[in-house]
Amino acid sequence: MQPDFANQKSLLEEHCKAQGYSVIFFPKFHCELNCIEQCWEFAKRIYRIFPSSSKEEDLEHNMNAALDAVPLKTIRKFARQSDRFIDVYHKGLDGIQAEWASKRYRGHRVLPKNIMHSVFRVGPGLKARGLGRAWAGLGRGEPQA
């Protein structure tokens, strides 16, 4: 009988645990929760500017140059954005509400404790109207017609 593979740790987890580290896996396809994904996206944009080459040395040089070109200030910005999204999801908001709240309270380090009250006051129709990113009135309290 085969052991349950759902409980099987990956080679990465086993290796890191042997070295005294723990591994945290983020949900797939949720780059807003993982700032390294945003950094990769930034670096890939820069990498595409370099001339095409099939030489391994050129590829490695261009990739390292692209990664080095990501400013520390931008990395910190991505980390703050990810932290805000994690905070709003933790408080029980869904995707559209989380997007609204992260933009509405972007100057704050944490969301207010009464965030659910604000969401229900402003946006019972956020989903119904399909607003999400298209809502020009984000952060102003009222959608624009």
Distance CA 66, CA 72 (A): 13
| Contact residues for 33 (Cβ-Cβ < 8 A; gap 6+) | 26, 27, 82, 85, 86, 89
**Mean pLDDT value across residues 58-69:** 95
pLDDT digits (tens, 9 = 90+) for 41-56: 999 999 999 999 889 9
**Would you state the structure tokens that stand for residue 61, as one six-digit string?**
């040089």
Distance CA 12, CA 25 (A): 11
**Would you state the structure tokens that stand for residue 36, as one six-digit string?**
């390294």
Instruction: Return the pLDDT at 125.
Output: 55
Instruction: Return the pLDDT at 129.
Output: 46
Does 138 or 110 have the greater pLDDT score?
Answer: 110
Identity (one letter) of the amino acid at 132? G
